[in-house]
Amino acid sequence: MGIFTKGGTKRVLFVGTHGKEDMNKATLPFMMAMWAKENGLDPSIWLTDDAILLVKKGYADDLKAPDYKPFKFYLDKIVEKKIKIYICHLSMAKRGISESFEECVGNVIKSGAQRLIDELKVGSVVTF
């Protein structure tokens, strides 16, 4: 993975496309963003499809991947570290997420595919 900088900040966007049907893959963007932040990078997360459900209040409280700590551990770290979580605007309404994000936890921002393109211009994008 190449790390690019913009203004001296190393940016990386972790993309999540999986929800509770595959908690190993669902956990990876959150776990990697946490580690990236702890290692001096500027991470963010972009979620689409059922992955956006993971940031709904209470939804993931009892979810756990077989190989990792409980998902809530990683989500709490993301919230604590104020890491941006972009969610695909096309996935929101079908999954009960409003424009106000009142049902979400964390620093959630409505986004589209342009976010991925923008990050490719100045940083790295990692998908799971």
Q: What architecture does CATH give domain 4-127?
A: 3-Layer(aba) Sandwich (3.40)
If DSSP states are collapsed to H, E and C, what string results for the chain?
CCCEEECCEEEEEEEECCCHHHHHHHHHHHHHHHHHHHCCCEEEEEECHHHHHHHECCCCCCCECCCCCEHHHHHHHHHHCCCEEEEEHHHHHHHCCCCCCCCECCEEEEECHHHHHHHHHHCEEEEC
Residues 6 or more apart whose CB falls under 8 angstroms from that of 119 comprise 11, 13, 44, 46, 125
pTM of the model: 0.90
pLDDT at 4 over 50: no
pLDDT of residue 118: 84
Q: How confident is the model at residue 2 (pLDDT cuts 50, 70, 90)?
A: very low
For the cut 60, the answer to whether the pLDDT of residue 69 exceeds it is yes
Residue 56 φ/ψ, nearest 5 degrees? -75, 135
Mean model confidence pLDDT for the chain: 91
Confidence check: pLDDT of 7 > 60: no
Lowest-confidence segment of 1-5, 16-20, 21-25, 53-57 by average pLDDT: 1-5
Q: Of residues 1 and 65, which shows the higher confidence score?
A: 65
Q: Could you tell me the residue ranges of all domains in the chain?
A: 4-127
Looking at residue 86, what is its pLDDT?
Answer: 95
pLDDT above 90 covers a percentage of the chain that reads 77
Residue at token pair 């790295």? 124
pLDDT by residue (tens digit) across 71-108? 999 999 999 999 999 999 999 989 999 999 999 999 99
